[in-house]
Amino acid sequence: DGGITQSPKYLFRKEGQNVTLSCEQNLNHDAMYWYRQDPGQGLRLIYYSQIVNDFQKGDIAEGYSVSREKKESFPLTVTSAQKNPTAFYLCASSIGGLYGSPKNIQYFGAGTRLSVL
Amino acid sequence: DAKTTQPPSMDCAEGRAANLPCNHSTISGNEYVYWYRQIHSQGPQYIIHGLKNNETNEMASLIITEDRKSSTLILPHATLRDTAVYYCIVRVGHGVAGANNLFFGTGTRLTVIP
């Protein structure tokens, strides 16, 4: 079954703790993305990666970190510097391609819901 | 960067066509229009995209006006499972070659009524 797997489905963070959200894809996509969604709001881009060993900050990168050591994996760490981490986190991937390319269809995982204890 | 405007909510009777409008008056010539939907507490699902011509697939039809300033997503026979938030997106780049970022606004909450 091809797709994007996010784990865990639910995660709780204690004060001052770093937590890592997993995102794995077996679609052979070059590009991967992390979004944050707050209740009743749209998605906001945290980080994205166009290729292995490279990633770029999105609109709300502060308090988050990522790595892209393997093509199929793009974990997101929510650090203690992120003071309001409670949200729904979504990972996506796409084939990649040039600006304006119709290959930019993004496929999403089922999400991780993070709460603070 | 082109932004989109959608009504916050719409209702549609089950079995009828759902027509979801979107305004994107500042769209530039090489920007595509994408539609996604998000069923409650799930990840967004791609529906359809287009540049100039009308498009149809197994899920929906996309009608883009000739001036490209607006579009309409049509679900021909809405079912209860089509109840979701529908996002109209014009692809936004961050000025970096290969950047493929999508701007998700708040979308239209479609409720299909039995």
User: Tens of pLDDT along chain A (117 residues)?
Assistant: 569 999 999 999 888 899 999 999 999 998 899 999 998 888 898 999 988 999 999 889 999 999 999 999 999 999 998 889 999 999 999 887 544 465 678 899 999 999 988
Average pLDDT over residues B21-35: 89
Token pair in block for residue B96: 């970096």
Average pLDDT over residues B78-104: 75
Alpha carbon distance B75, B52 (integer Å) = 19
Q: Which of B34, B92, B100, B106 to mutate to test the interface with A (most CBs of A within 10 A)?
A: B100
In terms of Cα–Cα distance, which of B47, B40, B33, B41 is closest to B5?
B33
| A111 interaction partners in chain B (CB closer than 8 Å) | 41-43
pLDDT of residue B44: 93
Name every residue whose Cβ is closer than 8 Å to that of residue A49 and which is 6 or more positions away in sequence: A31, A32, A33, A55, A56, A66, A68, A74
Alpha carbon distance A67, A44 (integer Å) = 19
| B41 interaction partners in chain A (CB closer than 8 Å) | 88, 111, 113
